[in-house]
Structure 1
């Protein structure tokens, strides 16, 4: 069906805190319990017309924000019990759902039943949530401060369209990065930015160039946005692909390594420099739930007889660097014991265990600390942050490695391999909480080899 301009529909430009809805604007915590479940369409209804978009969405993490195994474990085994016993973080009992199960939050169904109960909380971040958001309250989008106006009017990025099921209005807000920021920025109860993906984008080169979140995570392609709609050259694909998508992870970080000399004798020292570049992401890497992510650089040398030598990174001496150099013994996450009522809980291995993580590897991370100064993966329990040693967009860092050649190293070529690996959740935490292994697996991001020769 050809799109017909709606003469009664105006094109709106949204500012922070504005809404198409009538009456008092409610956003953030004020929206808790303000809208019943039956005020929102089920995603199955949307799928009858928006077939391709629905099939894409069903495969995206957006549709699993509440049902995904780690999100369920984190909420029910950590956040919820902590909220019940610690008044300072009590708000997370409802607040987690503001972004992970928005209909549950807006309906006041707190805490929602577990995903196995198959309630409407399982709809996670569904079609009718995003397409009834009309703006955000305040100056900065964060902590689910979106303004929602459920009803027969659906808001989209395109003007002049009609639907047999609902009224359609253009909303420039849906085309903005601030739309994403309402959930992809988060402050802890201690007023600490624990998620700042939108803010990282805004401060970086992509934000300054006007390249918005949707350009990477909802790319345009020719097609139909609805079964009866006309062919369009620029339909936003509802992929929402990010940290759980192999294609997005592959090559997101680039690495190159070179030796200072091409020839050396046994006993001499060879200095190598690895350049690590965030050449693909418009925000820092890792971003989002950075408290639980692992990204590291592993360097090893292989001599002409096949013997492997692990090369630890040369320390730079900045404050907090100890959190960026892998350790086989350092412990962290002791607040899990507080939350779960385990007396004298010693903590878990800070960096976990992985096939290609060795003591001395460089870790790119932003440490989160609880009120007692201990490293935590509980973003709601974050009272302070450590040194931010993540990779900024289009930025490079140089890491050096000093290899003192053994006296008995055989002559011939030495291959040096620099590899960047990633894990979505620290393996020690995953094992302790019985999170399925796919969430904490080691993922190859990129690798590069160089060579030098050992002289006889």
Structure 2
């Protein structure tokens, strides 16, 4: 028994040690909060407009955002304190969500209500103190942080009474973003890979960087006393949390194989879904949380509504891409001290039979999880890649009592940032899992009398 316990401990320690070495943990406690200027200082002194943009972006809310707070304090920290394999996430989450707290060794930081400097999230001085990254691949906060009187920028021009300015091309690269938008779990699984998806896609080959879309250029000033530039990078960082960014991302078109049909006849509908906007897959980032699904309804001339279920394609793991009543996320029981927890509905409020565009995450027991740190394997990646078109078919056998006349058939793609069943279980505010309509398209079939 003692040998088995020792073996388990050594294996767990080995996993933790490997993760720590790769996660840039040499930054942990390497600095003090006072080594960094506050965002308010930057905004009040010179960069008021950029400060206001940042303040409304998720960068400023990386630690204080409702879901991030709940996920960290109610799931990650309790889990890390009970399971040595994932112990590192107690500190590691802060490497990207509150870099100042991580660099100051303030682990775990106090909750946002205490208003410590951890609340600054990804602040101005963090990004403009990064000079590069260590290793061959940017991930798990392996950025190089050099706080001080020299601030890095992509121009290296201008003068400031507050600090020195040094040109650093790294800040204009996708690799800069990849230091936090790529992540490996303690089990060595890529649980976030937005930068890698971009690198493998068509836009990287054309020189389109993350900043092209998420920090679009516009005429303006980089500082109050600075020069006016035709391409001042806006600090908007709009993405998965912006309805305006999500809406229209995927184009939908639905068409029937018959324009006219009689009751009892079968009509086959094809839906083409084209990723027209994103330089990475859709959805991306926190894929374990996101849910994107296609819903198709037919309405006959009398107003009766029919739900059309997607045809199965038969690929391995497809069951996780078609909505069901199955339960999942049982590993939340670790943090909740409830060994009898049966899970919550895997697909939230998605109607049974709808197609879901996701990549499932599985815990060490092979159960689907939303806890990326507890992810040991991944399911089939059924997301929509950049410039990729997916075709879905739906076979509809017209009921004998269907009303004659024009039948309207609509395909709609929906998006939620968090699976509602998980959100409700953890008491996440409803606005955090609002349903956003990505796009829709309608076609018609004439039902003959």
TM category (shorter chain) comes to over 0.9
Deviation at 1:380, TM superposition (A): 0.2
Distance (Å, rounded) in 2 between the aligned partners of 1:422 and 1:148: 35
Q: Return the match for 2:287 from 287, 290, 309.
A: 290
Does 2:360 align with 1:367? Answer: yes
Distance (Å, rounded) in 2 between the aligned partners of 1:441 and 1:232: 38
Distance (Å, rounded) in 1 between the aligned partners of 2:77 and 2:156: 42
SS in 2 for 1:315: coil
Does 2:437 align with 1:449? Answer: no
Match of 2:40 in 1: 44
Deviation at 1:27, TM superposition (A): 7.4
SS in 2 for 1:342: coil
Distance (Å, rounded) in 2 between the aligned partners of 1:384 and 1:218: 33
Does 2:399 align with 1:402? Answer: no
Distance (Å, rounded) in 1 between the aligned partners of 2:381 and 2:216: 30
Deviation at 1:391, TM superposition (A): 0.4
The alignment's C-alpha RMSD in Å is 1.1
Q: When the two structures are aligned, how many residues end up with a matched partner?
A: 428
Structure 1: 5+ residue runs without aligned partners?
Answer: 1-25
Distance (Å, rounded) in 1 between the aligned partners of 2:75 and 2:322: 27
Deviation at 1:161, TM superposition (A): 1.9
Q: Return the match for 2:374 from 350, 373, 381.
A: 381
Match of 2:273 in 1: 276
Moved more, 148-157 or 402-411: 402-411
Distance (Å, rounded) in 1 between the aligned partners of 2:222 and 2:108: 35
Deviation at 1:386, TM superposition (A): 0.3
Contact 1:27/1:147 (<8 A) preserved: no
List aligned pairs for 1:427-446, cutoff 5 A: 427-446=420-439
Match of 2:327 in 1: 331
Match of 2:115 in 1: 118
Q: Deviations over 1:105-163 (max 9, x none)?
A: 00101000000000000000000000000000000000000001000000001032211
Deviation at 1:201, TM superposition (A): 0.3
Contact 1:27/1:146 (<8 A) preserved: no
Deviation at 1:94, TM superposition (A): 0.3
Match of 1:252 in 2: 249
Match of 2:201 in 1: 204
Deviation at 1:250, TM superposition (A): 1.0
Q: Return the match for 1:341 from 330, 333, 337.
A: 337
Match of 1:135 in 2: 132
Distance (Å, rounded) in 2 between the aligned partners of 1:163 and 1:338: 51
Q: Deviations over 1:54-105 (max 9, x none)?
A: 1000000000000000000000000000010000000000000000000000
Question: With structure 1 as the length reference, what TM-score do the two structures score?
Answer: 0.93
Q: Deviations over 1:416-438 (max 9, x none)?
A: 00000000000000000000001
Runs of 4+ in 1 over 2 A off after TM superposition: none
Contact 1:201/1:283 (<8 A) preserved: yes
Question: With structure 2 as the length reference, what TM-score do the two structures score?
Answer: 0.94
Does 2:64 align with 1:64? Answer: no
SS in 1 for 2:359: coil
Match of 2:190 in 1: 193
SS in 1 for 2:303: coil
Contact 1:348/1:429 (<8 A) preserved: yes
Q: Return the match for 2:170 from 169, 173, 182.
A: 173
